A = this chain, B = another copy of it.
Amino acid sequence: MEKEYKILLTEDDENLGMLLREYLVAKGYDTDLMPDGEAGYEAFTSKKYDVCIFDVMMPKKDGFTLAKEIRMVNSDVPIIFLTAKSMKEDIFQGFKIGADDYLTKPFSMEELLFRIEAILRRTKGTLISQDVFQIGKYKFDTQKQQLSEGDEVVKLTTKESELLKLLCNNANKVLERNFALKTIWVDDNYFNARSMDVYITKLRKHLKDDPSVEILNVHGKGYKLVM
């Protein structure tokens, strides 16, 4: 089962916008088209997207401003800028905001597609199942289910290991409670949620020797492993 990726496209030129949307939809991407930056922001806050494609020059709110606002909320989602003028300064500004790529008009749709795919390959592909994680001064081996600090090795239980692995896969991002519960405990009822809390306590004890590593609670949302 392929996941259908969601793309947010903001483009004020209606012709170009529709054309791009058609093309991306035909290529299997669930694409929403918004006519300006404000509508784009609305859309972003109401849905999860895998890639954003923003025209730089747009009415109401330009692409850079939109990107800056989105970066305040989400420092992670890939952003591609479309720019008519190839002005250096604009381009660099875009990268400083944290853009992943930009295209200068006119460009071929095929090229846009390739760049989207190159980004998705990185953002979605690389994360899958890493075996060994470095957590501050600890080394965590998911296969062996053990956490080592220098030559001290601690054996983790299955649940401890699964939870820590999920946290590592989402390092410095929020691991949603429900997601973790459904992944590890299958059922996300009250008791399993409490059980998960108990495991968070256990993991915190295991990691307590390195103050640069912390499992933060995000009230009502989940947990975040920061390091």
Interface residues of A (CB under 8 A from B): 45, 68, 71-73, 75-76, 78, 88, 91-92, 95, 98-101, 108, 110-111, 114-115, 117-119, 121-123, 125-129, 143-145, 157-159, 165-166, 169, 171-172, 182-183, 186, 214, 216-219, 221, 226
Contact = CB atoms under 8 A, between A and B. Distances in A.
B182 A144 contact: no
Copies of this chain: 2
Closest 10 CB pairs of A and B: A95-B114, A122-B122, A75-B129, A158-B218, A72-B169, A143-B226, A100-B118, A158-B219, A73-B183, A144-B226
A68 B127 CA distance: 15
20 contacts: A68-B169, A71-B129, A72-B165, A73-B183, A75-B127, A76-B127, A88-B108, A91-B111, A92-B110, A92-B114, A95-B114, A95-B117, A95-B118, A98-B127, A119-B122, A125-B172, A127-B172, A158-B218, A158-B219, A159-B219
A130 to B, nearest CB: 9
Contact of A129 (B98, B111, B121, B159): B98
Contacts of A122: 78, 100, 119, 122-123, 126
Given A98-B128, A99-B118, A72 B219 contact: no
A93 B166 CA distance: 20
A219 B71 CA distance: 27
